[in-house]
Amino acid sequence: MRAINRRIFIELMPLLMKKNRLSVMFHSPQTALIGGFAGAILVGAIILRLPWANQPGKVNFVDALFTATSAVCVTGLAVVDTGTDYTFFGQVVILLLIQAGGLGIMSFAAVAFQLLGRRMSLQSEAVLHDTFFQRDMAAEFQRTFRTILSLTASIEGIGACFLFFLLLPRMELGPAAFSSIFHSVSAFCNAGFSLRNDNLIGLRDSGGILFVIMALIVLGGLGYTVLNEIYSHCRYSNRGKKRDGPNRFSFHARLVLWVTSFLITGGAATLLVFGMTPDEFSWWDQTFNALFQSVTARTAGFNSVDIGKLPSASLFILIILMFIGGSPASCAGGIKTTSAAILWARTVAGLRGQREVKLLDRRIPHELISRTDLLIALALFWNMAGVLFLFTTEAGLPVDTLDLVFEQISAFGTVGLSTGLTPDLSVPGKLWLVATMFVGRLGPLTIALWMIPATNVSVRYPKGSVMIG
Residue range 259-274: mean pLDDT, rounded: 94
Residue range 26-36: mean pLDDT, rounded: 67
- Quick one: pLDDT at residue 318? 95
State what percent of residues in the chain have pLDDT above 70: 78
Q: Please, what is the average pLDDT of the chain?
A: 82
pLDDT digits (tens, 9 = 90+) for 375-386: 899 999 999 999
- Quick one: pLDDT at residue 464? 74
Q: Within a 13 Å sphere around the CA of 52, how many CA atoms are in the beta-carbon half?
A: 2
Question: How many angstroms separate the CA atoms of 414 and 423, rounded?
Answer: 17
Contact 98, 437 (CB under 8 A): no
In this structure, the chain runs to a length of 469
DSSP string of 374-434, one letter each residue: HHHHHHHHHHHHHHHHHHHHTTTS---HHHHHHHHHHHHTT----SS-GGG--HHHHHHHH
pLDDT digits (tens, 9 = 90+) for 165-221: 999 988 899 999 999 999 999 999 888 899 988 888 888 888 899 999 999 999 988
pLDDT at 326 over 50: yes
Question: How many angstroms separate the CA atoms of 270 and 317, rounded?
Answer: 7
Contact 26, 48 (CB under 8 A): no
pLDDT digits (tens, 9 = 90+) for 46-101: 999 999 999 998 899 999 999 999 999 888 888 999 989 999 999 999 999 998 88
- Quick one: pLDDT at residue 246? 43
pTM for this model (two decimals): 0.85
Of 462, 407, 464, residue with least CA distance to 430:
407
Of 159, 361, 144, 172, residue with least CA distance to 231:
144
pLDDT at 300 over 80: yes
**Positive or negative: CA dihedral 271, 273, 276, 281:** positive
pLDDT digits (tens, 9 = 90+) for 347-371: 999 899 888 889 888 898 888 888 8
CA distances from 197 to 83, 134, 167, 302, 404 (A): 7, 39, 16, 12, 22
Question: How many angstroms separate the CA atoms of 226 and 194, rounded?
Answer: 27
Residues 6+ apart with CB under 8 A from 343: 372, 376
The interaxial angle of helices 29-48 and 88-103, nearest 10 deg, is 170
- Quick one: pLDDT at residue 322? 93
In 3-state terms the chain splits into helix, strand, coil percentages (rounded to 5) of 70, 0, 30
The interaxial angle of helices 29-48 and 122-132, nearest 10 deg, is 80
pLDDT digits (tens, 9 = 90+) for 95-147: 999 988 887 755 654 444 444 454 555 555 555 555 555 444 444 556 666 77
